[in-house]
Structure 1
Amino acid sequence: MPPALDRIRVGSAPDSWGVWFAEDPAQVPWRRFLDEVAEAGYAWIELGPYGYLPTDPRVLREETDRRGLKVSAGTVFTALHRGPAVWEETWEQVARVAELTRAMGAGHLVVIPSFWRDDKTAELLEDPELTPDQWRLLARGMERLAREVLDAYGLALAVHPHADTHIDTEAHVERFLDATDPDLVHLCLDTGHYAYCGGDSVKLIETYGERVGYLHLKQVDPDVLADVTRRGTPFGPAVRQGVMCEPPGGVPALEPVLAAAQGLGVDLFAIVEQDMYPCPPDKPLPIARRTRAFLRSCGA
């Protein structure tokens, strides 16, 4: 039997049910998501895109309580490398999500940087590389956001490296971590996105373990990734091509990632996210059951 991963709290997210937007006819209704994520054996969920699940905390708490579910985090997108001009707009979005996140008893806010290219058309929206001044604005902006979210809502900030954003590759992630206050800014390590961008999750945990405050569990299909990389396919079409696959069929191997995370000696959420937008409505539940069984076999 594998050693018990008693510091790892496993959950799943609307993303694993093909949910990317607050409203979209291609997505399963929110009640079905809640029913099925509980049926698959998960106790923890994320909020997903704000407005997909009920935003009235009384309603949402009633719905989650009766299914034995609890919320681990909310998620926001930001473009803080653009400087003070975007602060008010950013805070307006963050405050809505943070308020609901706190009301649901969660302690984390996952922050995803804005995309530098359109995830459907591949149109360049910005230069893929930030200037030194933009890196400075990004670092200071994330520190300010972390401080104000903690002060106002008691939530810990976890920045999510993501494909087609400015925090993606190993070099970019390390530059970001080295430029930000370790007491304020932590990382949501998404194993799939990091592998998609060429990173080694175990190495990151071993090198910057004190910065890892949250995990997303995901794998990539190396054959599909090779084609995506060769063609320069943007992230959205890559997902439709099946670049994110069901574990344990892809990379990175999750067993050593979970063992390294357990070795940090702190409690960590490990939320399954298998990007599948869009997907047939009957596809997610069997995958979720098998993934939960696989993670149990790893000791989680």
Structure 2
Amino acid sequence: MSASSAASPVLDRIRVGSAPDSWGVWFPDDDQQVPWRRFLDEVSEAGYEWIELGPYGYLPTDPAVLRDETARRGLKVSAGTIFTSLHHGPAVWDRTWAHVTEVATLTQAMGARHLVVIPSFWRDDRTAELLEPSELTDEQWRHLTTGTERLARRVREEFGLDIVVHPHADTHIDTEEHVERFLDSTDSGLVNLCLDTGHYAYCGGDSVKLIKTYGERIGYLHLKQVDPAVLADVTAKGTPFGPAVRQGVMCEPPLGVPALPPVLEAAQDLGVDLFAIVEQDMYPCAPDRPLPIARRTRHFLRSCGA
């Protein structure tokens, strides 16, 4: 055993997985994405045990079919993902709940316990069209926080799932200021975070600081890194998130920031079991590109103790 291996901490509270996103999957159906069976084959081959559902409809939505397909490959589901625009207030509730019900039903049936909640974008991630202002009004913040608490309460009551809200580039929950305002305005017994290390760095945040400051609110992790040089260009030019991804702003670890060992160690120190799901945004990408990256990333995380 090398000295570096011997020095690696044992991260026994961290459950590492991956997701369709790391295979360039952003949409339920898209000709530029790998077929779902290939994703399942390759994520297992790369050494991962846990996966997320990805965009609803990409993987089979029949629980019996999906249970068979995942079990045959030694895979288990950690979470489903939902998209919301709760800052628009009660008018969007019925549409939101219909979407949540579909995803939560499958998530529950697969034995997972989490729903990752991604806020809607304020500019189109493909065209850069401005959809709404990048800053919320005080009234919209109230709609966002009270709506999220309502969602968390109902999801827990009806499905036994916990929601984890995902700060995300080009959404209203992005920067340190916005993330802290959101956390300070929501009930810690209902609403926690999915901390995506790449998105938080993209928006200028410090993941280790957030974990140490708001540790009780960290319910889930997405592991991701950004390329500092590309990020500087993206920031200078105001490039939207979609084109930034095509430019390579998200990179495989350990080539970018933030450094993941301190993040993982800070998460381990919380003393709770946490999923840490690798998500390297790279839509669109060549079909043969994800698997080698996934193998290297899994090897790197093992070298960190995870």
TM-score by length of 2: 0.98
1:233-252, aligned counterparts within 5 Å? 233-252=239-258
Tell me which residue corresponds to 1:267: 273
Tell me which residue corresponds to 1:33: 39
Tell me which residue corresponds to 2:288: 282
Match of 2:133 among 118, 124, 127: 127
**Is residue 2:297 matched to residue 1:291?**
yes
Tell me which residue corresponds to 1:4: 10
Tell me which residue corresponds to 2:208: 202
Structure 1 stretch displaced more, 121-130 or 5-14: 121-130
Q: In angstroms, what is the RMSD of aligned CA positions? A: 0.3
Deviation at 1:139, TM superposition (A): 0.2
SS for the counterpart of 2:214 is helix
Deviation at 1:120, TM superposition (A): 1.5
1:126-275, aligned counterparts within 5 Å? 126-275=132-281
Q: For the residues of structure 2 that align with 1:122 and 1:56, how far apart are their CA atoms? A: 35
1:295 partner letter: L
Q: For the residues of structure 2 that align with 1:21 and 1:223, how far apart are their CA atoms? A: 28
Q: For the residues of structure 1 that align with 2:79 and 2:157, how far apart are their CA atoms? A: 17
Tell me which residue corresponds to 2:112: 106
SS for the counterpart of 2:231 is helix
Deviation at 1:122, TM superposition (A): 1.2
TM-score by length of 1: 1.00
1:289 partner letter: R
Count of residues in correspondence between the two structures: 300
SS for the counterpart of 2:277 is strand
Tell me which residue corresponds to 1:58: 64
Structure 2: state its 5+ residue gaps.
Answer: 1-5
Deviation at 1:3, TM superposition (A): 1.3
1:25 partner letter: D
SS for the counterpart of 1:77 is strand
Which runs of at least 4 in structure 1 moved beyond 3 Å after TM superposition?
A: none
Q: For the residues of structure 2 that align with 1:212 and 1:151, how far apart are their CA atoms? A: 21
Deviation at 1:189, TM superposition (A): 0.1
2:102 partner letter: R
Deviation at 1:48, TM superposition (A): 0.2
Once the two structures are aligned, what percentage of the paired residues are identical?
81
Match of 1:115 among 111, 121, 132: 121
